[in-house]
Amino acid sequence: MLDPTLSALLGALWLLTGGVAVRLMLRVYGQRVPTEGRLAAVRMHRVLGRAYVLIYLVFLFVMIRKVLTYASFTPLQAVHIALGVGLFPVLATKILVVRRYRSLHRILPGLGITVYSMSVAIVALGAMPFLIAKATAPETDELDEQGLIRAGMALLEQRCQKCHDLDRVYDQKGRKSSDLWEVTVDEMVRLEPPLADVRDPILAYLQAEFAAPDTPAGVMLTGSALIEARCQKCHSLDRVFGYTKTEQQWRLTVERYAELLPNHIHPSEIDPIVMYLYAKRGAPPDPEEEMRALFEQQCGRCHNLSRALDQARESQISPRRWKRVIRRMKGIAEERELEIWSEDEAQTIAEYLAAQYKEPEADEGEDEEK
Ligand code: HEC
Ligand code: HEC
Ligand code: HEC
């Protein structure tokens, strides 16, 4: 879909190329005695004509794709679409006459002017919804919070039923946090840019009347609704609830999906989903996993576990010297001005590494503190 500014610019460019092409054609056909520069005018007309057709095809393609997502049209949209499609045969006829049926060339000026008039009407109809929305948008800047909410209630009815009915919205009542309502409304504005003018009042209304309360119970409601909406696309919910995981593990699972399917799961949906899953299917925290997470967080900034262990094996570090290695790492981290782990954390990491690291037998004894 085209961004509205881009589409306005392209529309203006389209009218400009068409307008100049018509002007040149009038000159070529309208002068009884061929004057100097006639050939150049014909060439220029041809170049502009090609640019015009190209822009038309882009618009046609974008429009058809967009229209396929609409459930119904406003009268303005219907006329806009009919003219946009109707231009095709007129333009095709003009091109055929130029290329194949030159003996009909006398109808070319008429066809050209028809084509151009239709494009002016198409652009005007395309711009009208934006102009109307601008002109009728309430002056929400001056409204207080209550006023904004009241305005939002009416605007929701007027502006949000174009592609789906309001059941779609009522269904979600109490099932989204305030933040997630913002995500939804912004998504709708992306689908329908003229909604930008009424985003604030509609959002204020939805957040006031439709948001799940900002309490643990509210987060659970949001989480449960999100799991229904997001996690049944490829498998049943039995699959989801058939496992128990620690909070960290649930987070990893959900984050992986969010990364894999950025258009399906929004980053701000991760927390409520994880909280719900952990509350329903949480496994007790696993000390080893927590130690690993600490390692990842502190040491993983520069290298992964196997790399550290391999290197340690290569230089035959005995477990007793882990604390010394970690002290050296602290130096490196300080040089790079990174945040440093605490003494307790260093102790935990040292224990974890000693447990992970199977010391080569031969090292024993000979590598005591030197
Ligand atoms: C351009 C067409 C269009 C307009 C206008 C529109 N929507 Fe939607 N809406 C959609 C589509 C398409 C979906 C389905 C998206 C999906 O299921 O991922 C949808 C789904 C929804 C949903 C359910 C999905 C969810 O994530 O909760 C809500 C709620 C919603 N819209 C609210 C609104 C509101 C509020 C407005 C007015 C500000 C609005 N819509 C205007 C196209 C539109
Ligand atoms: C794009 C498709 C898709 C979506 C969306 C999806 N899953 Fe999965 N999921 C899979 C596939 C594929 C498997 C692996 C096959 C299997 O085990 O059935 C799987 C397996 C799982 C498993 C079992 C294996 C494991 O990783 O523990 C869980 C739990 C799970 N999904 C949870 C979720 C949750 C929670 C969501 C919603 C946030 C979700 N899934 C959404 C495709 C999906
Ligand atoms: C600021 C980046 C940085 C951080 C943070 C960091 N390291 Fe290192 N680490 C390095 C570099 C660079 C080397 C290789 C140079 C060296 O050995 O002095 C290295 C090497 C190592 C080695 C191999 C040492 C040897 O003598 O062969 C081990 C083991 C190691 N790191 C463990 C850790 C542990 C455990 C932590 C977390 C407490 C950690 N690192 C945090 C940068 C870092």
pLDDT digits (tens, 9 = 90+) for 192-235: 888 988 999 999 999 999 999 888 899 999 999 999 999 999 99
Residue 249 forms part of a structural domain: yes
Q: How far apart are CA 327 and CA 353, in angstroms?
A: 14
Q: Is 267 in the same domain as 342?
A: no
Q: How far is the CA of 347 from the centre of ligand 3 (A)?
A: 16
Q: Is 277 in the same domain as 307?
A: no
Q: Is 158 in the same domain as 123?
A: no
Q: How far apart are CA 245 and CA 282, in angstroms?
A: 5
Q: How far apart are CA 141 and CA 3, in angstroms?
A: 25
Radius of gyration of the chain (CA): 33
pTM assigned to the model = 0.57
Question: Is the predicted pLDDT of residue 270 greater than 70, yes or no?
Answer: yes
Taking residues 60-85, report their average pLDDT.
86
Measured from the Cα of 353, ligand 3's closest atom is 35
Residue 276 forms part of a structural domain: yes
Residue 227 forms part of a structural domain: yes
**3 state DSSP class of 37:** coil
Q: How far is the CA of 313 from the centre of ligand 3 (A)?
A: 13
Q: How far is the CA of 235 from the centre of ligand 2 (A)?
A: 7
Best residue for ligand 3 mutational test, from 303, 324, 339, 343 (most atoms within 8 Å of Cβ): 303
Q: Is 265 in the same domain as 174?
A: yes
Q: Is 222 in the same domain as 101?
A: no
CB 83 within 8 A of CB 66: no
Last residue of a domain, one of 222, 250, 281: 281
Name the domain count of the chain. Answer: 3
Task: Decide which of 54 and 290 is more confident.
Answer: 54
Residue listed under structure tokens 């649930």: 250
- Lowest-confidence pick of 14-28, 94-108, 122-136, 156-170: 122-136
Confidence of residue 304 (pLDDT cuts 50, 70, 90): confident
Confidence of residue 96 (pLDDT cuts 50, 70, 90): very high
Q: How far apart are CA 346 and CA 228, in angstroms?
A: 42
Measured from the Cα of 350, ligand 3's closest atom is 35
CA angle 192, 54, 27 (to 5 degrees): 120
Q: How far apart are CA 41 and CA 132, in angstroms?
A: 39
- At residue 316, what are phi and psi to the nearest 5 degrees? 50, 55
- Torsion angle of the four alpha carbons 30, 32, 34, 35, in this order, in degrees rounded to the nearest 10: -80
Q: Is 119 in the same domain as 217?
A: no
Measured from the Cα of 295, ligand 3's closest atom is 37
Residue 55 forms part of a structural domain: yes
Confidence of residue 293 (pLDDT cuts 50, 70, 90): confident
pLDDT at 137: 65
pLDDT at 370: 37
CA angle 48, 50, 55 (to 5 degrees): 95
Question: Is the predicted pLDDT of residue 263 greater than 80, yes or no?
Answer: yes
Residue 11 forms part of a structural domain: yes
Confidence of residue 340 (pLDDT cuts 50, 70, 90): confident
Cα separations in angstroms, 205 against 81, 154, 156, 170: 33, 9, 9, 13
pLDDT at 1: 53
Last residue of a domain, one of 87, 104, 136: 136
Taking residues 309-326, report their average pLDDT.
78
Q: How far is the CA of 252 from the centre of ligand 2 (A)?
A: 12
pLDDT at 57: 95
pLDDT at 362: 46
Q: Is 131 in the same domain as 157?
A: no
Residue of minimum CA distance from atom 42 in ligand 1: 163
pLDDT at 359: 54
Last residue of a domain, one of 136, 161, 187: 136
Residue 369 forms part of a structural domain: no
Question: Is the predicted pLDDT of residue 334 greater than 60, yes or no?
Answer: yes
**273 ligand 2 Cβ < 6 A:** yes
Residue of minimum CA distance from atom 36 in ligand 2: 231
Structural domain including 318 reads: 293-363
Residue of minimum CA distance from atom 37 in ligand 2: 231
Q: Is 101 in the same domain as 30?
A: yes
- Lowest-confidence pick of 21-25, 213-217, 301-305: 301-305
Cα separations in angstroms, 290 against 30, 246, 330: 85, 10, 21
Please choose, from the candidates 312, 311, 329, the residue with its C-alpha nearest in 3D space to the C-alpha of residue 320. 312
Question: Is the predicted pLDDT of residue 318 greater than 80, yes or no?
Answer: no
Q: Is 106 in the same domain as 63?
A: yes
Residue 77 forms part of a structural domain: yes
Measured from the Cα of 273, ligand 2's closest atom is 38
The region, left, alpha or beta by phi > 0 then psi within -120 to 50, assigned to residue 266 is: beta
C-alpha 236 chain-centroid distance: 26
Strands (E), the chain: none
pLDDT at 319: 66
**231 ligand 2 Cβ < 6 A:** yes
Confidence of residue 358 (pLDDT cuts 50, 70, 90): low
**311 ligand 3 Cβ < 6 A:** yes
Question: Is the predicted pLDDT of residue 188 greater than 90, yes or no?
Answer: yes
Q: Is 218 in the same domain as 270?
A: yes
Confidence of residue 369 (pLDDT cuts 50, 70, 90): very low
Q: Is 275 in the same domain as 336?
A: no
Q: Which residues share a beta bridge with 282? A: 245
Best residue for ligand 1 mutational test, from 1, 161, 163 (most atoms within 8 Å of Cβ): 163
Question: Is the predicted pLDDT of residue 364 greater than 70, yes or no?
Answer: no
Question: Is the predicted pLDDT of residue 341 greater than 60, yes or no?
Answer: yes
Please give the biggest Cα pair distance in the chain: 110
Q: Is 68 in the same domain as 159?
A: no
Average pLDDT, the chain: 87
Best residue for ligand 1 mutational test, from 73, 164, 170, 222 (most atoms within 8 Å of Cβ): 164
